[in-house]
Amino acid sequence: MQETRPHVVTRVGALLRAVGACEPGGGSTTQLASLAGLARPTTHRLLMSLAEQGMVDRSATSGRWWLGPELYLLGNAAAARYDITGQARDIVHSLARETGESTFLSARRGDESVCLLREDGSFPLRSHVLHEGIRFPLGVASAGLVMLAHLDDREVDSYLARVDLGPRWGEAHAEAGLRERIAATRLTGWAVNPALLVEGSWGMGAAVFDADGRPAWALSLTGVETRFRPERHDELGALLLDQAHRLTQRLSR
């Protein structure tokens, strides 16, 4: 009879991503089990094995888990191939300076967006929805929405057929609402998140493309609602598109 339970590698991958999503504060065993979709005993057993290999680390006082030193070393080795933050840092800085808003670089990893870089602007009221390392499904937050919207129709249909965002992320993320925002994003080129994650916290994003013309990264802005009134969308959207194009051209070279 065919094995129906997730393969151990799949479980470990999901668990490490869950630990990463809890950085920098760390996650409890129960919290990580929920995020990874695993039973708590299985989660604890896997975490203990990963700790022996240095892949995760645990606080002796709080019992919370963090990514471990061995992952840091492996990440440094992989950075030369995958890390674009060095090439994007001045662009993120420029957007934060020009707009006054918190500015982010995110990467697409499969069906998720991952925040790689953050810089806060000068405006004193800020949104704290995003931080480096946090993951969202595509279609959630402006970065994930703009990358999803720039996939072709077949890929969008396939994604929406296998992923139901509504139960966890709210009715606005059900298929009908998501398709409406995809269509709107394709018209303007930029995505808008009208406080769908946290009340009063808005965001806008533009896609950055790889050498094959696929949406592999995104630049985004977040801030309080009063800073993202409709009359400012064209200004912020144009800045995002200009800087996203600049980064795309830089990466292509």
Q: Distance between CA atoms of 115 and 210, rounded to whole angstroms?
A: 17
pLDDT tens by residue, 103-129: 999 999 989 999 999 999 887 666 667
Q: How far is CA 247 from CA 49, 80, 166, 253, in A?
A: 40, 17, 33, 10
pLDDT attached to residue 130: 76
Q: Is the previous residue joined to 24 through a cis bond, with omega within 30 degrees of 0?
A: yes
Band of pLDDT at residue 132, cut at 50, 70 and 90 = confident
The yes-or-no verdict on residue 52 having pLDDT over 50 is yes
- What is residue 72's predicted lDDT score, i.e. its pLDDT? 83
For residue 1, is pLDDT > 50?
A: no
Measure the N-to-C terminal CA separation of the chain; round to a whole number of Å.
51
Residues ≥6 apart with Cβ < 8 Å to 77: none
Domain ranges of the chain: 8-73, 83-252
pTM listed for this prediction: 0.76
Alpha helices (H) along 195-229: none
The per-residue pLDDT for 87 is 93
How would residue 33 be classed by pLDDT, with cut points 50, 70 and 90? very high
pLDDT given for residue 80 in this prediction: 62
Architecture in CATH of 83-252: 2-Layer Sandwich (3.30)
User: Residue 29: pLDDT above 60?
Assistant: yes
Residues facing 191 on adjacent strands: 205
β-partners of residue 197 are none
Q: How far apart are alpha carbons 76 and 70 in whole angstroms? A: 10
Instruction: Kindly calculate the radius of gyration of the chain based on its CA atoms and give it in whole angstroms.
Output: 19
Rounded distance between C-alpha atoms, residue 177 and residue 173, angstroms? 6
Q: Give the per-residue pLDDT at 169.
A: 92
Phi and psi at 164, nearest 5°, equal -115, 100
200 — pLDDT class (breaks 50, 70, 90): confident
225-236 pLDDT per residue, tens? 999 999 999 999
DSSP code for 14 = H
Residues 6+ away with beta carbon under 8 Å from 83: 116
Comparing CA positions, the residue from 181, 138, 186 lying closest to residue 162 is 138
Average predicted confidence (pLDDT) for the chain: 91
Confidence band of 23 (pLDDT split at 50, 70, 90): confident
User: What's CA 106's distance to the chain center, in Å?
Assistant: 6
The CATH-assigned architecture of domain 8-73 is: Orthogonal Bundle (1.10)
